[in-house]
Amino acid sequence: MKNERYEYERDGLAIYERSFSIIRSEANLTRFDALESHVAVRMIHACGVVDLAQHIEFGHQFAQHARHALQQGAAILCDAEMVERGVTRKRLPADNPVLCTLRDERTAALAKQLGTTRSAAAMELWHEHLAGALVVIGNAPTALFHLLEALERGAARPAAIIGVPVGFVGAAESKQALAESSLDLPYAIVRGRMGGSAIASATVNALASDAL
Where is 119: in which H helix or E strand? helix 118-123
Closest CA to 185 of 193, 194, 177: 177
Active-site position among 38, 45, 65, 146: 45
- Specify the length of the chain in residues: 212
Q: Are 151 and 124 in contact (CB under 8 A)?
A: no
Can 45 be counted among the known catalytic residues?
yes
CA dist list (Å): 64 to 49, 55, 68, 77, 190: 25, 20, 6, 18, 18
For 14, other C-beta atoms within 10 Å of its C-beta total 10
Closest CA to 103 of 135, 79, 136: 79
CA dist list (Å): 166 to 33, 34, 85: 25, 26, 17
For residue 135, the SS3 value is strand
Active-site positions read 45
